[in-house]
Amino acid sequence: MAESNNAQELSPRPLMRLLGDFANSQILDAALEYDFFTLIHKGFHSAEEIAREAGTDARATRIVLDSLPALALIEKRDGKYALTPTAEVFLVKGKPSYCGDFRHVALALWDGMAHLKESLKTGKPLSRMDTNAELPVWEKLVLGIIVIAEPAAKALCDILKIGTERKGMRVLDIAGGSSIFGMTIVTRDPTAQVAQLDWPNVNAVAKKANKERGLEGKIRFIDGAHHTAVLESNDYDLVLASNFCRFESPMGNQELFSKAYSALKPGGIFVVNDFVPNEERTEPTFALRFSVYTLTHTPEGECWTLSQYSDWLKKAGFTKIETHSDIPKTLPGTTLIVAKKN
């Protein structure tokens, strides 16, 4: 009887929303693909005007635009569309705060997630994101994560006092992607010597980003993969590993950390930036969900705990380890792990 009463009191609507949430990401992706938010910002406010400028079907455009108020991205009055404050700040192309490219991150994960049931059965991914076969995907992904990586890069500069107490550091950014960490460092300290190691296609994207920020030629780019690259010993003051340890296996991370230790000068600093769940793996929920993405895209990756990172760092030779989390304007679980070489 009690169970029956509970069933009457509870609603299935939250579960139905969960199962249907994929539609929201597809609607937003389509609106961004055709620059609807940018067009509204430019003064095109009717479905017909927006469709004409976007080169889309007028009826289809109206239907998609009418769905966007439910996502709190557009308001509609008297048949005219206007942006909400969130869309105005974050979804208008050309603005420094634009984060529409993050859609490439979300959509790149869809392929693997579509085969989650198979991965759950076999423990293996059906598609990969940890090999250079995925270069076209990463060319978009590295731009998409700038919006979440830049706050962490700024926080790191504050923590290490780069540009104030620390100047002229030799920095190696391993798999630096868009080079947002490198760009942030050379902006804080123009005397810093930053090198980025990454796949050639990704470095080409980073060079373009450098040019757009007026930093062309400020960072040295090394084409290659960190698994096979030979690094000079005792050469760097700071080595960075941002947003990719979650795609590595335990052995891969152990090898990376040992390589970083060897590349650092005595007293040098190694920094890992990644999503770190608590030891019980109960929160933050974002990091735990992201582990499911890594399950469907890598053979052995997941979001690793601090005790796991500490173990690999200590085995590599690092003794002084500190962490910094609760970084504003980035995703839950984002943590900077700072380790020092004796």
pLDDT of residue 132: 54
CATH of 116-340, one of 3.40.50.150, 3.30.70.600, 3.30.497.10, 2.102.10.10: 3.40.50.150
Question: Any residues with CB less than 8 A from the CB of 91 and at least 6 apart, and which?
Answer: 32, 37, 38, 73, 83, 98, 99, 100
pLDDT of residue 45: 97
pLDDT of residue 149: 93
8 A C-beta contact, residue 187 and residue 162: no
Structural domain boundaries of the chain? Answer: 2-97, 116-340
pLDDT of residue 277: 97
pLDDT of residue 4: 56
pLDDT of residue 131: 56
Model confidence, pTM: 0.86
* CATH class name, domain 2-97: mainly alpha
The 8-class DSSP code of residue 134 comes to G
pLDDT of residue 91: 94
Per CATH, 2-97 and 116-340 having the same topology is answered no
Q: What are phi and psi of 302, to 5 degrees?
A: -170, 175
pLDDT of residue 67: 96
Report residues of the chain scoring pLDDT below 50: 1
pLDDT of residue 99: 85
Quickly count: other Cβ atoms within 10 Å of residue 66's Cβ.
Answer: 13
